[in-house]
């Protein structure tokens, strides 16, 4: 979609620092981006939160982290997402998921528990 290639990009050491959070707290997670190419390249970094809906299904919401050019073989990203009441989104207690998206390609999902 953005003209970026996810070929030879990978995610490692993806972890959620606090898999049990309360409403009003921040979800903290980190991951390493591995560039399998020797040449520099543009990388669009996003993450998705799969929010639990009232009917038990999940709704995906994507958030942009950054878009950068990298020559390094590895970049470490640490991110937080604040779970606070807002008017445009309703949070429900239970199991939610977070995933990493690089250049439009989604990688592994990790779960976390949200309590009210």
**Read out DSSP for 32-87?**
EEEE--SS-EEEEEEEEEEEEPTTS-EEEEEEEEEEEEE-SSEEEEEEEEE---BT
> Where do the domains of the chain lie?
9-115
What are the pLDDT tens digits along the chain (116 aa)?
A: 455 667 788 899 999 999 999 999 999 999 999 888 777 788 899 999 999 999 999 999 999 999 888 876 788 999 999 999 888 888 999 999 999 999 889 998 999 999 98
Write out the CATH class of domain 9-115.
mainly beta
């Amino acid at each position: 979609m953005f003209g970026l290639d996810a070929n030879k990009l990978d995610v490692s050491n993806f972890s959620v620092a606090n898999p049990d959070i309360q409403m009003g707290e921040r979800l903290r997670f980190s991951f390493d981006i591995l560039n399998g190419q020797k040449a520099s390249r543009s990388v669009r970094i996003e993450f998705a939160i799969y929010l639990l809906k009232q009917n038990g299904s999940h709704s995906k919401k994507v958030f942009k982290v950054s878009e950068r050019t990298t020559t390094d073989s590895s970049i470490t990203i640490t991110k937080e997402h604040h779970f606070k009441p807002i008017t445009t989104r309703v949070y429900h207690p239970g199991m939610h998921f977070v995933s990493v998206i690089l250049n439009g390609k989604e990688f592994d999902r990790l779960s976390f528990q949200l309590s009210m």
